Structure 1
Amino acid sequence: MNPDLIMHHGTVVTMDRNFRLAEAVAVKDGKIMATGTNDEILHYSTPQTKVIDLEGRTVTPGFIDAHQHMINFGFNLANVNCRKNSIEEVVSAIKERAKASSPDEWIIGWGYDEAGFKEMRNLHKSDFEGIPNPIYIMRYCHHAAAVNDRALELAGITNDTTVNNGMIEKDDSGEVTGVLVEQGKTLVENVMPPYTRDQMKHAVKLANDQYVKEGITSVHEAGLGFFSDAFKEFDVLAEMKEEGTLNVRMYVMVMQDVFEEFLESYSSYEWDHRLKMGSMKFFGDGTLSGKTAAVSQDFKHSPGEKGMLLYTFDELFERAKIAHSQNKQIAVHAIGDRTIQQVLDVYEKLYEDDPKPNLRHRIEHSTVTDKAILARMKKLGAIPVPQPSLVYFAGDVYMENLNEPAVDNVFANKNFIHAGLKPAGSSDCPIIPSSPLLGMAVAMDRTTVKHHVFIPDQRISLREALSMYTVNAAYASFEEDLKGSLEKGKLADMVVLPEGFLGFSADEIKKTEVEMTIIGGEIVYSK
């Protein structure tokens, strides 16, 4: 066979079971044809073969982000960046956008974190006085938002409005502040105008281009319908796939409230390795930073506060049974250990009542665990999907909010591996930046943004970190025969990194830039 592409004189990290290293790789028809020595691979070359001299650089399998929100991220790139160091800077950015907008146009921002504001307080609706537009700013965690008076008015929120499974924050006098949590923010989201098809395509393209720049060749979309309309989102993705404007391969989860309707509507759709049907997605609790994740012991300095379960056992079981009965994977956002135990109880009963081959039901985030939880996960074949980079961005907050032993078992990647689990690396982008290289580096050094080392005994090696974003993530989507390693017959999804990458320290990896990204044998990004 005549290869379409050969890359030679490098270090090819195959990520096979033996962690075999090669010097060169050949690609034919979008798949790996062979890996081997320079002489072995160059022997296949023909005048029609594209030949790339790696000059010592490193090639790894394409990175897979097992939990992110691509459409949401794309809109964040198009909206106002409020990941600022002060309220003053946030307000200034919103004012700049408002100047270029009509008074009735919604100004949408994202990424604020009140813990980092120099004013040492949260946003307040009064900060935006004088701006006529309705304003909606999503907190970086996506579980809270800040809005102004105009947005509150359009949503019909008054000082007397109440909400289940959420909060409308009020000050000591009972006045609404503009900060909305969980279902509280949904009241405003329900009156915001829907995005157009062209806006959605533009957003996806922005996210796609950023992902390939970071070496991401596949993503698991963590819930169609989470950001907007699941059916519109999917139609846009399917259209872009056919147009060739969507490079990144996608494994799509669908929010549980529309899952059955979605399966029926797209029963005749021809799913493939570019766009594949995935899990039924649930939210089981909130966050640790907002103290809404369901934990088994009180949050630090908050007597009686243990967060919130968003479902009873029976509610979660009955909904999850719909997917399980159809041999579909289930994925539940579960951060607190109390939530994870509930999810495992549900998975256990599903298998008892309706035995199946391992459906690889997932626990998204799997943040607070212990050895007993991990033993149950192993027994049930459950897959933890952590976000290593969150240790960097939120580790200091976790230390402030959690008591021992919970704080010593946050994103316990080493424990996952020792328990025989296959933790799948992810970012939860746009909650935090999407870079898999950053995720690997933080998994290795466990250093926080304030330079603390958070649970050093949970550090893992670069080889283990690479596995999280390649072979493990492929396993989480039943695609280990297609992706995750550079072996004959698998998809030719690859990342080119600098020479000597396998010997890099965590600090060096944080500074590393992807030099080339290849999907299906095609170069989709070159530095």
Structure 2
Amino acid sequence: MNADLILHHGTVITMDQNFQLAEAVAVKDGKILATGSNDDILQYSTSQTKIIDLEGKTVTPGFIDAHQHMINLGFNLANVNCRKASIEEVVSAIKKRAEASRPDEWIIGWGYDEAGFKENRNLHKGDFEGIPNPVYIMRYCHHAAVVNEKALELAGITNETTVINGIIERDDSGNVTGVLVEQGKSLVENVMPPYTKKQMKNAVKLANDEYIKDGITSVHEAGLGFFSDAFKEFDVLKEMKKEGTLNVRMYVMVLQEVFEEFLEAYSSYEWDDHIKMGSMKFFGDGTLSGKTAAVSQDFKNSPGEKGMLLYSYEDLLERAKIAHSQNKQIAVHAIGDRTINQVLDVYEKLYEDDPKPNLRHRIEHSTVSDETILARMNKLGAIPVPQPPLVYFAGDVYMENLNEPAVQNVFANKNFIDAGLKPAGSSDCPIIPSSPLLGIAVAMDRMTINNRVFIPDQRVSLREALSMYTINAAYASFEEDLKGSLEEGKLADMVILPEGFLHFTPEEIKGTEIEMTIIGGEVVYSKGTLKT
């Protein structure tokens, strides 16, 4: 059989069970035809074959981000970047956008982190006095936001307003500050104007282009409907796939509130290798940085504070039955160990009452665990979906917020692997940058942004880290026979990295740039260093 594409004279990391290396790879009809020596693979070439000389560079399977929010990322790229070092800089960026906008136009920002502000305080509504526009800025974690007085007014939020499963922050005098947490921020989001289809397509394209530059060839979309409307979001993805403007492959989770309706609406849709129906998605608790994740012991220096469970056991069980009974995967955002145990209780009951082949129910984040939790996950075939790069961005905060022994079990990737689990690597982008290379490096060195080592016992090898972002992530979406390794018959999704990558230190990996990204045998991104 003749090849459409051949990559040769490099190091091909196949990521098969034996971690076999090759010199070259051949592609036919968008799939891997063969891997092997240069001589063996070049025999598949004809005058019609596209041939790329790797010049010693490294090839890996395309990276898979098992938990991210593509549409959110796209809109963040279009909105105001508030990932700044000071409140002054945030306010300046918001004012600049407002000056170029209509007075009634919402000014939306993202990414602020009060822990890094030189003013040593959080944003509040008073910072935006003089701006006539309604202002809404999402914190980097996506679990809190700050708004100005105009936005509070439009949402009808007063000093007397209350909210369930959320916080409307007030100062010592009882006045609303503009900081809204969890369902508190939803009160404002509910009055913001919906995005148009054109805006959504633009956002997805921005995110798509960002991902392929990072070597990401597949993503698990962690909750259609999380950003706007699940049906509008999916229709945009369908149209872009048809138009050829969506390169990245997608495994789409759907928020549980609309899951049944979504399944019915798209019962006749032909899912394929490009867009595949995924899990029913729940949010089980909050975050560690905001002390809203449900943990079993008090947060440090916060007596009696153990976070919040967003569902009772009974409620979560009844809702989860809907997916389980239809042989559909369930994915629950569970950060605290108390939440993870609640979720595992539900999974155990589901299998007990309605035995099924392993549905690979997932635990998104799986942040605080212990030996008992890992044993339970193994028994149930549950999949942990951690975010290794969060150790870099938030490890210092975790050390400040958690007591022992909880802090020793945060993103315990080595423990996951040693327990026989298959942790799927992810970013939770746009909470943090999407780069799988950063995630791989941090999984290896466990260094925080302040150059502190965070639980060195949980360091993993390069091979293990690569597995998290390739074959393990493929397993989490039932696609290990389709992607995640470069083996005959699998999709020709590949990433080209610099020569000698297998021997790079974590620090070198952090500074590495993607040379080329290939999806289905087609070059979708090239840095320009290789001739194509």
TM-score with structure 2 length normalisation? Answer: 0.99
Matched, 1:50 2:50: yes
Q: Give 3-state SS (helix, strand or coil) of 1:109's partner.
A: strand
Q: Residues of 1 paired with 2:176 and 2:146: CA distance?
A: 11
Match of 1:350 in 2: 350
Match of 1:173 in 2: 173
Match of 1:212 in 2: 212
Q: Residues of 1 paired with 2:265 and 2:45: CA distance?
A: 46
- Offset of 1:257 from its aligned partner? 0.2
Match of 1:140 in 2: 140
Match of 2:4 in 1: 4
Match of 2:471 in 1: 471
- Report the residue type matching 1:481 in the other structure: D
- Offset of 1:341 from its aligned partner? 0.1
Q: Residues of 2 paired with 1:75 and 1:27: CA distance?
A: 35
Matched, 1:80 2:72: no
Query: Where does 1:238-387 land on structure 2 (aligned, <5 Å)?
Result: 238-387=238-387
- Offset of 1:44 from its aligned partner? 1.1
Matched, 1:232 2:232: yes
The C-alpha deviation readout for 1:276-317, integer Å capped at 9, x for no partner, is: 000000000000000000000000000000000000000000
The C-alpha deviation readout for 1:49-101, integer Å capped at 9, x for no partner, is: 00000000000000000000000000000000000000000000000100110
- Offset of 1:353 from its aligned partner? 0.2
The C-alpha deviation readout for 1:213-255, integer Å capped at 9, x for no partner, is: 0000000000000010000000000000010000000000000
Q: Residues of 2 paired with 1:52 and 1:369: CA distance?
A: 45
Matched, 1:483 2:449: no
- Report the residue type matching 1:483 in the other structure: K
Query: Where does 1:104-183 land on structure 2 (aligned, <5 Å)?
Result: 104-183=104-183
- Offset of 1:15 from its aligned partner? 0.3
- Report the residue type matching 1:384 in the other structure: P
Q: Residues of 2 paired with 1:105 and 1:385: CA distance?
A: 38
Q: Residues of 2 paired with 1:410 and 1:304: CA distance?
A: 21
- Report the residue type matching 2:422 in the other structure: K
Matched, 1:35 2:32: no
Q: Residues of 2 paired with 1:328 and 1:232: CA distance?
A: 22
Q: Residues of 1 paired with 2:251 and 2:44: CA distance?
A: 34
Q: Residues of 2 paired with 1:464 and 1:16: CA distance?
A: 12
Q: Residues of 2 paired with 1:268 and 1:193: CA distance?
A: 31
Q: Residues of 1 paired with 2:79 and 2:44: CA distance?
A: 49
Q: Residues of 1 paired with 2:406 and 2:253: CA distance?
A: 29
Q: Give 3-state SS (helix, strand or coil) of 2:288's partner.
A: coil
Q: Residues of 1 paired with 2:163 and 2:406: CA distance?
A: 29
Percentage identity across paired residues of the two chains: 86
Q: Residues of 1 paired with 2:258 and 2:480: CA distance?
A: 28
The C-alpha deviation readout for 1:32-61, integer Å capped at 9, x for no partner, is: 000000000011110000000000000000
Matched, 1:509 2:514: no
Query: Where does 1:392-431 land on structure 2 (aligned, <5 Å)?
Result: 392-431=392-431
Q: Give 3-state SS (helix, strand or coil) of 2:152's partner.
A: helix
Q: Give 3-state SS (helix, strand or coil) of 1:319's partner.
A: helix
Q: Give 3-state SS (helix, strand or coil) of 1:240's partner.
A: helix
Q: Give 3-state SS (helix, strand or coil) of 2:168's partner.
A: strand
Structure 1: 5+ residue stretches without partners: none
Q: Give 3-state SS (helix, strand or coil) of 2:32's partner.
A: strand
Match of 1:186 in 2: 186
- Offset of 1:262 from its aligned partner? 0.2
The C-alpha deviation readout for 1:316-368, integer Å capped at 9, x for no partner, is: 00000000000000000000000000000000000000000000000000000
Q: Residues of 2 paired with 1:142 and 1:494: CA distance?
A: 31
Q: Residues of 1 paired with 2:181 and 2:459: CA distance?
A: 33
Q: Residues of 2 paired with 1:52 and 1:141: CA distance?
A: 41
The C-alpha deviation readout for 1:145-197, integer Å capped at 9, x for no partner, is: 00000000000000000000000000000000000000000000000000000
- Report the residue type matching 2:494 in the other structure: M
Q: Residues of 2 paired with 1:284 and 1:33: CA distance?
A: 43
- Report the residue type matching 1:309 in the other structure: L
Q: Give 3-state SS (helix, strand or coil) of 1:96's partner.
A: helix
Q: Give 3-state SS (helix, strand or coil) of 2:417's partner.
A: helix
Match of 1:453 in 2: 453
Match of 2:530 in 1: none
Q: Residues of 2 paired with 1:43 and 1:319: CA distance?
A: 55
Q: Residues of 1 paired with 2:25 and 2:244: CA distance?
A: 25
Match of 1:524 in 2: 524
- Offset of 1:2 from its aligned partner? 1.1
Q: Residues of 1 paired with 2:73 and 2:41: CA distance?
A: 40
Q: Residues of 1 paired with 2:329 and 2:57: CA distance?
A: 38
Matched, 1:440 2:440: yes
Q: How many correspondences in the alignment?
A: 527
Structure 2: 5+ residue stretches without partners: 528-532
Q: Give 3-state SS (helix, strand or coil) of 1:474's partner.
A: helix
